[in-house]
Structure 1
Amino acid sequence: MSRSIWIILGVMAVGLVLLVLNDMSGDVSGLSSDTFGRVLYLGIFGAVVGAGILGSRHRLGDVARNLALWLLVILVFIAGYQYRYELQDIASRVTAGLVPGSPLSITDSDGRTTVTLEKMPNGHFEARISVDGAAMQVLVDTGATSTVLTANDARRAGFDPETLAYTIPVSTANGNATAARVTAKELTLGAITRRNVTLLVAAPGMLDQSLLGMNFIGTLSGFDMRGDRMILRD
């Protein structure tokens, strides 16, 4: 075993002994036990890295370049974590611009979420939601009491329209219809999620597009429309 390894082990042993002996007082050579422990840890880490560099046969220039590269990678990861909310907002904005109806989710430092929807060319607000993991395009209808799925969307979400009992009368843009009641384990709009949501499934052929109704919107802290935008606040 090389001399440098013995020196490192000796420093570790002395440091640990000092920490144990001064644990009750909470002070080691004028430093708090926590501070001394961090200094000891960083010193040992630096000594190990330095010993590895000196013991290697690589040129110092190559070693310095590799260390700088790893330092850059670490800083990128740290910056990504610190600015994770801002990066999420950027990703949401890009997606909202590329995919019509994609919700723009913004989460502030307190964890509060707002979702913004852009008005579609047809003059309505539509959104891409997920019901039990199945993505679908829905019309946001603040005049609808319940969220109503078409038979096709219900099938994608794992419900079998052929086995449902259509006994609930509903009023749609196409007139009166009947629907069946089901429960979704999870309904997600952007970064807003609700669990165990009661939904209606329209009888096959009775509804052209699924509706996001007030039984979901009413669970939010608020919503408002500003020009061509609808803002939903969790």
Structure 2
Amino acid sequence: MNFAWIGIGVLVLAAIILVSRHSEGMVGGVTNADFASLVSGVALLIVIGGSMLASRRFNVGTALRHATIWLGAVLLLVTLYSYRTEFAGLGARVFGELVPGAPIAATDAEGRIVVTLRRDASGHFGARGTIDGAGARFIVDTGASVLTLTPATARAAGLDPDKLTFSVPVETANGVTFVAPVRVGRLEIGPLAFHDLRAYVAPPGALNDNLLGVNVLDRLASYSVRGDEMVLTGPR
């Protein structure tokens, strides 16, 4: 029997359990740190003890070599777990660079969700999200008082533009246009979720992108611009 593979299996299973329950801080009444130490010791005993049982002649040098290798593996596992938040943030940031508009999510010291948006090539802060389950791209526009959707996005979200009344006048860069007032059940930007929002649907040809207006930003604890990044901080 290959006890090394059993030890690896124990470590992998422990890693999965720790990652899935790290927010709770406990595993079966034991702290995450103690659980990691306990499992590491068990895995080490399985490998060394198993090797001793499987071998008719116990070799001290071989046992020490195996112990050193497994101690290194245990330390690596503990280190990766300790810096899981930093690694997750780094991965999200790399993904955000590779996929323009992808929100970069994290959690601040107060436990609030923080989403960072990168400035795109056109100089806008774009974000990919969903509106009532339909995928959409948004541009943050502090000049727009209300969330405003293109006809295509509205239709994908279950709102038929042909049945809407375009009766509300709004000022745009091209003059006054008339939009249709609607209600949106759920808007998501990464892990940030907004419910029961007032929104407008623009007439055909008036918008190229959906506008994330001030009525959405006002639901946040705060929002700020830092160079080429906009930071959206959700409520607690």
What does residue 56 of structure 1 align with?
54
Structure 1 residues 90 and 204, CA gap change in structure 2 (3 angstroms): same
Q: Tell me, in whole angstroms, the C-alpha distance in 1 between the residues paired with 2:195 and 2:66.
A: 51
Question: Which structure's CA Rg is the greater one?
Answer: 1
Report the Cα offset of residue 117 of structure 1: 2.8
Cα distance, 1:94–1:183 mapped onto 2, change above 3 Å: same
How far does residue 54 in structure 1 lie from its aligned partner after superposition?
4.3
Structure 2: distance between partners of 1:164 and 1:196: 20
- 1:142-179 deviation digits (Å, cap 9, x = unpaired): 121211111212233x3142564234414244431222
CA distance in 2, matches of 1:228, 1:212: 18
The superposition leaves residues 7-27 of structure 1 with CA deviations (integer Å, 9 ceiling, x where unpaired) of: xxxxxxxxxxxxxxxxxxxxx
The corresponding residue for 2:180 is: 179
> What SS class does the counterpart of residue 231 from structure 1 fall into?
strand
Task: Give the distance between the partners of 1:145 and 1:204, measured in 2 at CA.
Answer: 20
Query: What's the counterpart of residue 160 of structure 2?
Result: 161
Question: Which residue identity does 2:180 align to in structure 1?
Answer: A
Distance of aligned partners of 1:195 and 1:66 in 2 relative to their CA distance in 1, 3 Å threshold: farther
C-alpha displacement of 1:102? 2.9
State whether structure 2 residue 116 is matched by structure 1 residue 135.
Answer: no
Equivalent residue number for residue 114 of structure 2: 114
Counterpart contact for 2:147–2:211, Cα < 8 Å: yes
For 1:12, the equivalent position in structure 2 comes to none
Q: Which residue in 1 is equivalent to 2:232?
A: 232
TM-score (normalizing by structure 2): 0.62
| Identity score, percent | 31
CA apart distance, 1:66: 9.3
Retained in 1: the 8 A contact 2:179–2:200? no
Separation (CA, whole Å) in 1 of partners of 2:88 and 2:133 = 20
Q: Tell which deviates more after alignment, 50-59 or 175-184.
A: 50-59
SS in 2 for 1:159: coil
* 1:112 Cα offset (Å): 2.6
Structure 1 pair 221/52, CA: closer, same or farther in 2 (3 Å)?
same
Amino acid at match of 2:158: F
- For 1:141 and 1:131, locate their aligned partners in 2 and report how far apart those are by CA, in whole Å: 17
Mapped contact 2:154–2:161 kept (Cα < 8 A) = no
Structure 2 unaligned blocks of 5 or more: 1-29
Aligned length: 192
Query: CA offset at residue 127 of structure 1?
Result: 2.1
For residues 233 and 162 of structure 1, do their structure 2 counterparts lie closer, same or farther at Cα, with a shift above 3 Å needed? closer
The TM-score with structure 1 as length reference comes to 0.63
**Counterpart amino acid of 2:97?**
G
How far residue 91 of structure 1 moved from its aligned partner, in angstroms, is: 1.6
Question: Which position in structure 2 is the counterpart of 1:202?
Answer: 202
Q: Secondary structure at the match of 1:153?
A: helix
1:97 alignment partner in structure 2: 97
The answer (yes or no) to whether the contact 1:89–1:107 under 8 Å persists in 2 is no
Q: Does the aligned pair in 2 maintain the 1:148–1:200 contact within 8 Å?
A: yes
Note the aligned Cα RMSD (angstroms): 3.8
